[in-house]
Structure 1
Amino acid sequence: MTAARGLFVYGSLCFDEVLTQLLGRVPAQTPWSLDGWRVASLCDRPYPGLVAELARRAAGAVLTDLTADEWQVLDEYEGPQYERTQVGRLDGVSVDSYVWLEPGLVEPTDWDRDDFRRRLLPNYVAELYGVDQRSERAAPSRQNRSRMP
């Protein structure tokens, strides 16, 4: 049995539509923010990266009831450009997040969640599988969607 832990989400995983497409459900979540980090826009990518930056605060939520299989799906979805790292604690539970690993692609601007929702979310969700294949639980890597308009 693994110890309980939460996942701080700050970008595309904040959207119920993305979680439903990847996991087949929306996990329980608690609004949360993370001091000393920011949600950065990334060059030529519709999704953001979490990067350390003093005097900043990243807003998002903590998913609190992920199964071992769901952690695996999310690890595969995030891919090698992110590293799952412990970033804090919430109510005595360790909280991990996916931290961006490629500083050369980080833009000086913050990622705009509302703009993503308005302009990109429907196409982003549709391209997760191309067709609804949630029952197969084989999440694609983000690399297939890196240059989505």
Structure 2
Amino acid sequence: MKSLSRREEQKPAQRNMFSNFFSDIDRMFDDDMFLMPMHLSRFGNSNLPAANIRETDKDYNIELAVPGMKRDDFTIEVDENMISISSEKEENINEDKENYQRREYNYSSFSRSFRLPEAVKADSIKAQYDNGVLHIKVPKAEQNVQRKKRINVD
């Protein structure tokens, strides 16, 4: 965060050996320290899969990039106009050999939710997992198109 008061620059002849040291520390606090939470938030969302949403005449297509999963790892729920896609995966590797023991644990999870338009057929939603991409097809419901009608006045 830049200081609100203006600093007077020292002339090159007046600088001592600590001036560069302190200016570097000031620069670290000014530039990096207060941006650090923003940088850390990128790492916090690293488990959040990328999503593509496309609309066609007949449906909405949601694609999530989730490599390394199985079909059974996903939970897809529709509640009113919200579709939620989540997954939890836990792996345990236990290997006991004569000279060593190996134990590895891995846990990963994510949850994404999308608001759906009101005119969808929630009962006809289909999902398919293929080559690391989860494809969800949300069909549109038939909308009553108002046709032009003339009303006679009696």
Q: TM-score range by the shorter chain?
A: under 0.3
- TM-score scaled by structure 2? 0.23
Between the two structures, name the one with larger relative contact order (CA 8 Å, sep ≥ 6). 1
Structure with greater helix share of residues:
1
- TM-score scaled by structure 1? 0.24
